[in-house]
């Protein structure tokens, strides 16, 4: 079936291109100028994008290393006034050059790249002149990862990497001297995080760098000089930690900056990072409504499930308490700690089969997902994640990393397994793998775009994975009401992430407000809720991405349904949606709706005119 589908898709593609060529040939005489202009514009835009990326990597060599671009591994820019001016000048120059292009004249995929680049450039003014993280977040100066990314790039020979690292190391003392100067009013919670992280990332210098030095064939002179640079870097880090500890002990409500960024900055950051068609306040409102709707649905299920788990026992009299009691019972069904990975491995083909049988999406049969134990160096906490090759390494495998529960005590493992019980584990696999993140990735790789992999939209990526859960359940996936109840609990987490994020930064939520929301209204364990409270104070806006993307995809689907009526086809909707890559949903919406309306207008034309 899949093979036939692919064949027909390829055929259609050829027919279509043939048709276009014929059309162009016909029109050559009538519109030669416009055609040429468009071609010129397209090739210029490719040059523009290439220049943009190249200059971005020069400005931000650390980000380049993370993305797999290793030409500037030796560099460590100083976080000073000059750097700020360089970013602002870069933004100015590239915004000006962007004016040369007419958006409408660009191909669809370039139109999205245009929007992404423009958004990035416009955001620079906000970050450097208003948000000013460099003045209040000491954790912005953690260099552990920057060194690790260079050291771990095994495509380059070790000696060359060490040459790069030697140059980078030299700058570390000046880097931290500048950092100390920049920080004038840090927040307490970020200062605490920085102290904790800096102590951890010291081991990259003390252990990883020194170990690899021993393995290299550099001569003794180099090795001694290198070791000395490492020691100087470590001394600078130690000094920075002492500085931060000092700072922290003197921070009180007058000297510390609040971790709340407030309504104005929150809305701006939301608009640059989420790129939604809605304001953050509208999304917050939608989340509050979604929460109440989920509670209604969960209560109805708990009513139905009550006799099965509690027989004739009396109900607690409160809706939320009753839901919680049923959830606790349902959560007892889970795999054993030793079969956690096996269970996930077995579920992937079942999810694939369900997607095929229900005609939800075409899955590329040539790219099966590899489930593996998370490599040691990536473990820090238990969990599951997709690790995809970066934009400069497209051919590498995509893995579904699952961390075994080896490091857990019996009690911790039991708690973790109840959280990822028989039902929730399936929703997790839908989210991370099929048809969630992994499937979205396969589709976005079909039209590779460097810009979209660097500046891709997190709300669309997370939104798709959250949408995939809902869509699978709608299609009838899962066994019974328990699956529904546990799915709603899972979805509630996404909804409450948004409420918490906006609540903390805009509505002045206290810790008690947060605990009430997460433990009482979202049925989370204390440890999970406390972790989330910390994350909501350390980050801003990111926790909104899951629900916002989900909400906008659901809205778009309804719009397309309304437009197409009987002709609406879920599978075509999904494939069309994913074909645009990791773009903000609002731009996908524009392009999709425009195309649909054009198609409908064509159909309504009288036959005679289309036959001419
Ligand atoms: Zn158990
Ligand atoms: Zn996700």
Helices 526-538 and 188-203, axial angle in degrees (round to 10): 100
Q: Could you give the percent of the chain with pLDDT greater than 90?
A: 79
Q: Which residue has the tokens 């043939």?
A: 18
- Beta-ladder partners of 402: 373, 384
Claim: this prediction has a pTM higher than 0.85: yes
**Six-digit token string for 361:** 């999406």
Confidence band for 39, pLDDT divided at 50, 70 and 90:
low
The first and second tokens of residue 285, run together, are 């409102």
Average pLDDT over residues 30-52: 75
Domains of the chain, by residue range, sit at 2-131, 139-249, 280-367+402-551
The residue among 526 and 135 whose pLDDT is bigger is: 135
Mean pLDDT, residues 51-73: 96
Which of the ligands is closest to the CA of residue 417? 1
From CA 564, how far away is CA 560, in angstroms rounded?
A: 6
pLDDT of 445 above 70: yes
Q: Which has more confidence, 437 or 448?
A: 437
pLDDT band at 366 (very low <50, low <70, confident <90, very high): confident
DSSP sequence for 107-139: -HHHHHHHHHHHHHHHHHHHIIIII-GGGT-GG
**Looking at residue 475, what is its pLDDT?**
97
**Residues above pLDDT 70, as percent of the chain:** 91
11 has a pLDDT exceeding 80: no
Measure 469 CA to ligand 2 centroid, in angstroms. Answer: 11
Of all ligands present, the nearest one to the C-alpha of 332 is 1
| Residues shown for the chain | 612
SS3 586: helix
Residue-wise pLDDT for 397-426, tens only, equals 889 999 888 888 999 899 999 999 999 999
Mean local confidence (pLDDT), 9-14: 32
| Spacing, Cα 325 to ligand 2 middle (Å) | 28
pLDDT band at 606 (very low <50, low <70, confident <90, very high): low
Strand partners, 371: 400
User: Ligand 1: distance of its center to the CA of 334 in Å?
Assistant: 6
pLDDT of 389 reads: 80
Q: For 10-14, 174-178, 340-344, 483-487, which range has the lowest pLDDT when averaged over its residues?
A: 10-14
User: Ligand 2 mean position to 462 CA, how many Å?
Assistant: 5
Pairing outcome for strands 370-373 and 399-402: parallel
Give yes or no for a contact between 445 and 398, defined as CB atoms under 8 angstroms apart: no
Q: Are 301 and 484 in contact (CB under 8 A)?
A: yes
CA of 546 to the centre of ligand 2 (A): 8
Q: Position of tokens 């359940």?
A: 473
pLDDT at 19 over 90: no
Beta bridge partners of 370: 399
Give the distance (Å) from ligand 1 centre to CA of residue 54. 53
Tell me whether the omega of the peptide bond preceding residue 435 falls within 30 degrees of 0, making it cis.
yes
Please say whether the beta carbons of 150 and 73 come within 8 A: yes
Q: Which two tokens stand for residue 182?
A: 């920049």
Instruction: Say if residue 446's pLDDT is above 90.
Output: no
Q: Are 72 and 78 in contact (CB under 8 A)?
A: no
pLDDT over 50 (residue 240): yes
Hunting for tokens 């009299």 — which residue is that?
A: 317
- How many angstroms separate the alpha carbon of residue 11 from the centre of ligand 2? 35
Distance of alpha carbon 403 from the chain centroid: 20
Centre of ligand 2 to C-alpha 402, Å, is 14
Residue 419 CA to ligand 1 center (angstroms) comes to 10
Percent helix, strand, coil in the chain, to 5, is 75, 0, 25
Distance between CA atoms of residues 127 and 115, nearest Å:
18
Q: How far is the CA of 333 from the centre of ligand 1 (A)?
A: 7
State the pLDDT at residue 32. 54
Predicted pLDDT of residue 472? 98
In this structure, which ligand is nearest to the CA of 542? 2
User: What pLDDT score does 27 carry?
Assistant: 40
Supply the pLDDT for residue 368: 77
Ion ligand 2 neighbours (CB, 5 A) are 462, 465
pLDDT band at 25 (very low <50, low <70, confident <90, very high): very low
Nearest-angstrom CA–CA distance, 473 and 431: 12
pLDDT band at 15 (very low <50, low <70, confident <90, very high): very low
- 479: CA distance to ligand 2 center in Å? 23
Distance of alpha carbon 443 from alpha carbon 99, whole angstroms: 31
Give the pLDDT score at 35: 63
Which segment of 6-15, 299-308, 537-546 scores lowest on mean pLDDT? 6-15
Query: Which tens digit of pLDDT belongs to each residue from 175-189?
Result: 999 999 999 899 999
Rounded to the nearest whole angstrom, what is the distance from the C-alpha of residue 465 to the centroid of ligand 2? 6
Q: Please name which ligand lies nearest the alpha carbon of 383.
A: 2
Which region among 107-116, 383-392, 565-574 has the lowest average model confidence (pLDDT)? 383-392
Would you say 378 and 401 are in contact if contact means Cβ atoms under 8 Å apart? Answer: yes
Rounded Cα distance between 269 and 119, Å, is 11
Ligand 1: centre distance to CA 421 (Å): 9
pLDDT recorded at residue 369:
87
pLDDT of residue 391: 84
**Which of 223, 201, 197 lies closest to 212 in space, CA to CA?**
223
The full DSSP string for 553-565 is HHHHHHHHHHHHG
pLDDT mean across residues, the chain: 90
Residue with token string 């079936």: 1
**Which pLDDT tens digit goes with each residue over 479-515?**
789 999 999 999 999 999 999 999 999 999 999 999 9
Centroid of ligand 2 to alpha carbon of 437 (angstroms) = 7
Q: What value does the mean pLDDT take over residues 56-75?
A: 96
Determine the pLDDT at residue 367.
Answer: 74
pLDDT band (50, 70, 90) for residue 550: very high
Residue 37: band (very low, low, confident or very high) from pLDDT cuts 50, 70, 90: low
Residue 225: predicted pLDDT:
97
Taking the CA of 427 as reference, the closest ligand is 2
Crossing angle of helices 480-505/262-273, nearest 10°?
130
Pairing of the two strands 384-387 and 370-373: unpaired
What's the rounded mean pLDDT across residues 539-556?
A: 98
Q: Which ligand has the nearest atom to the CA of 331?
A: 1
Separation of CA 596 and ligand 2 centre (Å) = 29
Distance 486 CA to ligand 1 centre (A): 16
336 C-alpha to ligand 1 centroid (Å): 8
What is the per-residue DSSP string for 345-380? HHHHHHHHHHHHHTT-----TT---EEEEPPGGG-S
* pLDDT over 70 (residue 539): yes
Which ligand is closest in space to the CA of residue 335?
1
**Beta carbons within 8 Å of 162's beta carbon, 6+ residues apart:** 212, 213, 216, 218, 222, 226
Phi-psi region at 508: left, alpha or beta (left = phi > 0; alpha = psi -120 to 50): left
Residue 383 Cα to ligand 2 midpoint, Å, equals: 12
Ligand 2 centroid to Cα of residue 429, in Å, is 10
Ligand 1 mean position, distance from CA 20 (Å): 61
Confidence of residue 14 (pLDDT cuts 50, 70, 90): very low
């Amino acid at each position: 079936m899949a093979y036939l589908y692919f064949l027909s898709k390829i055929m259609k593609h050829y027919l279509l291109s043939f048709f276009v060529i014929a059309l162009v040939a016909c029109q050559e005489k009538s519109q030669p100028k416009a055609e040429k202009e468009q071609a010129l514009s397209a090739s210029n835009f490719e040059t523009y994008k290439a220049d943009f990326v190249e200059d971005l990597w020069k400005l931000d060599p650390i980000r380049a290393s993370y993305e797999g671009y290793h030409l500037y591994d030796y560099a460590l820019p100083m976080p000073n006034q000059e750097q700020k001016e360089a970013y602002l000048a870069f933004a100015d120059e590239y915004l000006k050059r962007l004016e040369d292009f007419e958006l409408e004249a660009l191909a669809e995929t370039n139109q999205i790249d245009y929007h992404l680049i423009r958004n990035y450039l416009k955001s620079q003014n906000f970050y450097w002149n208003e948000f000013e993280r460099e003045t209040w977040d000491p954790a912005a100066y953690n260099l552990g990862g920057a060194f690790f990314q260079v050291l771990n790039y095994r495509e380059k020979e070790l000696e060359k990497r060490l040459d790069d690292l030697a140059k980078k190391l030299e700058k570390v003392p000046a880097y931290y001297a500048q950092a100390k100067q920049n920080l004038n009013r840090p927040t307490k919670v970020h200062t605490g995080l920085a102290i904790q992280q800096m102590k951890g990332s010291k081991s990259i210098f003390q252990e990883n760098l020194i170990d690899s030095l021993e393995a290299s064939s550099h001569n003794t002179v180099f090795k001694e000089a290198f070791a000395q640079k490492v020691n100087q870097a470590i001394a600078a880090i130690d000094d920075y930690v002492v500085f931060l500890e000092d700072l922290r002990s003197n921070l009180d409500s007058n000297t510390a900056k609040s971790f709340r960024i407030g309504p104005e900055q929150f809305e701006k950051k939301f608009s640059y990072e989420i790129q939604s068609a809605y304001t953050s306040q509208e999304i917050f409102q939608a989340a509050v409504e979604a929460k109440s709707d989920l509670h209604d649905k969960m209560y109805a299920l708990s009513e139905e499930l009550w006799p099965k788990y509690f027989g004739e026992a009396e109900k607690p009299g409160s809706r939320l308490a009753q839901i919680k009691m049923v959830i606790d019972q349902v959560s007892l069904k889970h795999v054993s700690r030793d079969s956690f990975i096996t269970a996930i491995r077995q579920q992937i083909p079942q999810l694939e089969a369900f997607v095929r049988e229900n005609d939800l999406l075409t899955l590329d049969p040539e790219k099966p997902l590899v489930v593996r134990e998370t490599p040691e160096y990536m473990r820090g906490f238990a969990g599951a994640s997709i690790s995809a090759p970066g934009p400069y390494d497209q051919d590498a495998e995509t893995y579904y990393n699952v961390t075994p529960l080896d490091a857990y005590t019996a009690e911790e493992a039991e708690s973790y397994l109840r959280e990822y019980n028989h039902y929730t584990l399936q929703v997790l696999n839908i989210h991370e793998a099929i048809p969630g993140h992994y499937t979205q990735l396969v589709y976005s790789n079909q039209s590779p775009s460097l810009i979209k992999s660097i500046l891709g939209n997190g709300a669309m990526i997370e939104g798709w994975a959250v949408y995939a859960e809902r869509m699978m359940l709608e299609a009838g996936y899962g066994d019974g009401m328990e699956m529904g109840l546990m799915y709603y609990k899972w979805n509630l987490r996404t909804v409450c992430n948004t409420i918490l994020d906006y609540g903390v930064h805009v509505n002045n939520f206290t810790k008690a407000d947060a605990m009430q929301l997460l433990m009482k209204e979202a049925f989370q364990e204390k440890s999970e809720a406390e972790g989330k409270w910390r994350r909501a104070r350390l980050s801003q806006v990111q926790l909104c991405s899951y629900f916002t993307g989900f909400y906008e995809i659901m809205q778009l689907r309804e719009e397309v349904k309304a437009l197409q009526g009987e002709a609406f086809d879920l599978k075509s909707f999904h494939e069309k949606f994913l074909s645009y890559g990791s773009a903000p949903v609002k731009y996908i919406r524009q392009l999709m709706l425009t195309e649909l309306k054009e198609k409908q207008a064509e159909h309504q034309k009288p036959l005679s005119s289309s036959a001419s």
